Amino acid sequence: MTEAASGPVTVLDTPWDAAVFGVRTAEVRLAGGQWSTEDAREDALHGALAELITNGGYDLLYGRVTPDPAVVRALRRAGFSACETQVVYTLSSRHWQPQSAGSGGIAVHPATSSDLESVVTASMGLFRYSRFHEDPEIPKALADARMVAWVRDLVARATPLLVARSSAGALIGYMFCTAGPSVQLTLGGSTPAASFLAPRFWAGVVDSLFRSGARAISAAVSAANVPMMRVYGDLRFNAVRSGVDYHWHRPGRVLGVPR
């Protein structure tokens, strides 16, 4: 990842997304700082974004920000549009109550090499909500391809992965996560055929992680994904913060078409 700073804006090239979308992409992060007024802060952020758009050579820029009027005004002045709203949830092992999962969680286990290809296959067309699925300028096929590429990358990096299968051996769901006392649920889902088991699958994932020594679990979910927000609520997760993803597309640039 290449990172560069332009005043209050940090730019991180995202070649993995560029490879899928066929355009030059980057994530922008807007820094805090001290300004004399909110108007001065807005102007500084807008100026840095305008410079990036003019001279950066990017075709697609995106960044997730917490609700902040000055930041939002600067982004909108620069031509960014709001896409996904994301809610971050956390749960402490002290507050975990397995019985809250209703009929109990489904048993999950660490993935083996024989699970990996079925996980990649299951990810194809599985996701409906993401920063790119909720961008009206990005075709669904490209958003789907980006998620599959993410899954393949997680597999290639040997990211911890939990899976659940039915008694007949069919994949029920999978979950990539980080390791350690504070675990982040990175990416996962239940297969369409087993979608009714999603609450029990998530309960099984949470129970397995706490039994393995995790003290806290965090997860991020799109606010448009109401069923999953309900699952996290039923499992006693607490919503701790939210962020909105803002995207800018170079006018006239078509995704997936070589320069």
- pLDDT at site 4: 58
Average pLDDT over residues 66-94: 95
In whole angstroms, what is the distance from residue 186 CA to residue 160 CA?
Answer: 10
Instruction: Please report the pLDDT score of residue 38 as a whole number.
Output: 86
Instruction: Return all residues near 54 (Cβ < 8 A) that are at least 6 apart.
Output: none
The predicted structure's pLDDT at residue 149 = 97
Residue 128 φ then ψ, to 5°: -115, -20
Q: Give 28-40 pLDDT, tens digit per residue.
A: 998 766 677 889 8
* Dist. CA 256–CA 138, nearest whole Å: 10
Asked whether the predicted pLDDT for residue 105 surpasses 70, the reply is yes
- Which position has the higher pLDDT, 56 or 143? 143
CA gap 132, 129 in Å, rounded: 8
Q: What is the reported pLDDT for 256?
A: 78
Range list of β-strands (E), the chain:
3-6, 9-13, 25-30, 60-65, 81-92, 109-110, 161-165, 171-177, 182-190, 216-222, 238-249
Please state, in angstroms and rounded to a whole number, the distance separating the CA atoms of residues 39 and 70: 7
Of 36-50, 120-134, 226-240, minimum mean pLDDT range: 36-50
- Average pLDDT for the chain: 92
Residue 99: predicted pLDDT:
62
Say if residues 132 and 228 touch (Cβ distance below 8 Å). no
Kindly give the interhelix angle for 198-211 and 226-234, rounded to the nearest 10 degrees.
Answer: 50
How distant, in Å, are the alpha carbons of 12, 222, 236 from that of 230? 33, 12, 10
